[in-house]
A and B are shown apart, each in its own frame.
Chain A
């Protein structure tokens, strides 16, 4: 299989603090990667760099053969760990926004997802709960036929029922042409859908590989492995 994403020696600093230190990995088409690490480990920074929101200080990021820029933004669908929608927007305004800016956005699919998530399309963002906003943003992000989906903590702060729906949506969206990177520390809830795993700590990758290989190699689940890896680091 060919690599959809190639990250080579990416370093990113915030002032004196190094958020990413020589990060190198690649992701093949049709794979779901679990990006795991404790808070402040560099997961969000890595996703911001991949989505084009931030520049790396050094290193190279290639998505489907192209350097990060306007072209890659057209093929990357990013779900940040905060609500990026304007509070005046209704769900249908947000859909309109995505339709205007992303050529690969499927409005019909988005309305289907809203129904699946039991969201009201005329409700304003400012009157939605955290879980509802999370589901709305996920519906928007997954209604694109993007090549690469970046999900930053998609399960954070939502109840178990919403969590179940979000995981179902991720599975429904999976296609062999696209890849998904899910950043999380709620490993237990999603580890079954991971094809690959990348564990990151203090901006450095400390473990990566196929989820299946790691399970058999260490004779434990990814959740247990995560706890073992980070038990003395958190």
Chain B
């Protein structure tokens, strides 16, 4: 799997560095312009308007782009001419797919770290602390940028360390699940329409159906279940993890039995 990871990283690291740079640039612009608390406000200037758009595009768009890059990865392995390179290497399909997903996962973690770092800077740089975020997140009593920054990190990594430790794997499980829905749906599609062009619209429908089925299944299982603390999220998270494992196994089996020779 080392070779798969190395090659996937080689194919993606330039994009990853560029996206980290864009996240930092947009975040720095927000911090330096002092517009953090006025983002998305209804009576904003043209500058604030564009800054809000850029901020939303980056903080929403980059994770979505990264998750959907699983689609590009599967496309390269199944529908494009590069399949003749990918499908003739002497590696088991679980290694070929798993290695690539691990790199995308690593990329996602890198973006999350960069984004959370900049969000902490953004919160700390607001003179009124996070009070300016309408008390919804946290109200800081600390004075000065570094005082507020220290307080944020102490809340996340000291005071609420138990919650933080639980939230990180849960977020990873969620991301893995989304990636597995994409990869399974496309692989299922490829195993049915093997010699057709990439059927974009139909594959989107299939991905939608997969997500819809999952949501319905979760709603059915956890009907009446009450979420009162982070720890109470573990049962649904465990089921999502199991579903993700099942979808990964399904993807690999379809590759071996229906796509690879």
Q: Show the binding face of A for B, using Cβ within 8 Å.
A: 14-15, 48-49, 51-55, 68-71, 73-74, 76, 78, 80, 82-86, 88, 93, 96-97, 100-102
In the bound complex, do residue B88 and residue A51 qualify as a contact, i.e. CB atoms below 8 Å apart? Answer: yes
B81 CB contact (under 8 Å) in A14, A83, A96: A83
Chain A proximity of B125: nearest CB distance (Å): 38
CA distance A52 to B261 in the complex (A): 4
In the bound complex, do residue A93 and residue B10 qualify as a contact, i.e. CB atoms below 8 Å apart? Answer: yes
Per-residue 0/1 for B1-28: is the Cβ within 8 Å of any A Cβ (1 yes, 0 no)?
A: 0010011001100000000000000000
The verdict on A86 contacting B84 (CB below 8 Å), with A49-B261, A100-B3, A101-B90 known, is: no
CA distance A87 to B11 in the complex (A): 10
In the bound complex, do residue B90 and residue A102 qualify as a contact, i.e. CB atoms below 8 Å apart? Answer: yes
CA distance A73 to B76 in the complex (A): 19
Can you offer 22 A-B residue contacts whose CB atoms are under 8 A?
A15-B195, A48-B261, A49-B261, A51-B261, A52-B87, A52-B260, A68-B261, A69-B261, A70-B90, A70-B92, A71-B90, A74-B90, A80-B81, A82-B81, A84-B85, A85-B82, A86-B76, A86-B82, A86-B85, A93-B10, A100-B7, A101-B91
CA distance A146 to B251 in the complex (A): 30
Number of interface residues of B (CB under 8 A): 21
Answer whether residue B38 sits at the interface, using C-beta atoms and an 8 A cutoff.
Answer: no
Chain B proximity of A180: nearest CB distance (Å): 16
**Nearest 8 interchain pairs by C-beta:** A52-B261, A84-B84, A74-B90, A84-B85, A100-B3, A73-B90, A80-B84, A101-B89
Tell me which residues across on chain B come within 8 A of A49, comparing CB atoms: 261
Tell me which residues across on chain A come within 8 A of B82, comparing CB atoms: 84-86
CA distance A53 to B258 in the complex (A): 10
Nearest B residue to A15, CB-CB = B195
In the bound complex, do residue A73 and residue B11 qualify as a contact, i.e. CB atoms below 8 Å apart? Answer: no
Chain A proximity of B214: nearest CB distance (Å): 30
A54 CB contact (under 8 Å) in B7, B11, B76, B261: B261
Per-residue 0/1 for B247-261: is the Cβ within 8 Å of any A Cβ (1 yes, 0 no)?
A: 000000000001011
In the bound complex, do residue A53 and residue B11 qualify as a contact, i.e. CB atoms below 8 Å apart? Answer: no
Nearest B residue to A72, CB-CB = B90
Chain A proximity of B39: nearest CB distance (Å): 35
B261 CB contact (under 8 Å) in A15, A55, A74, A101: A55
Chain B proximity of A153: nearest CB distance (Å): 13
In the bound complex, do residue B87 and residue A53 qualify as a contact, i.e. CB atoms below 8 Å apart? Answer: yes
Chain A proximity of B4: nearest CB distance (Å): 8
Tell me which residues across on chain A come within 8 A of B92, comparing CB atoms: 70
B83 CB contact (under 8 Å) in A14, A55, A84: A84
CA distance A14 to B193 in the complex (A): 10
The verdict on A53 contacting B81 (CB below 8 Å), with A48-B261, A93-B10, A97-B7 known, is: no
20 extra A-B contacts, CB within 8 A, seeds A51-B88, A100-B3 = A49-B261, A53-B83, A53-B84, A53-B88, A54-B261, A55-B260, A70-B90, A70-B92, A71-B90, A73-B89, A78-B84, A80-B81, A80-B84, A84-B83, A86-B11, A86-B85, A96-B10, A100-B7, A101-B7, A101-B90
Most central of A68, A78, A97, A102 by chain B CB within 10 Å: A97
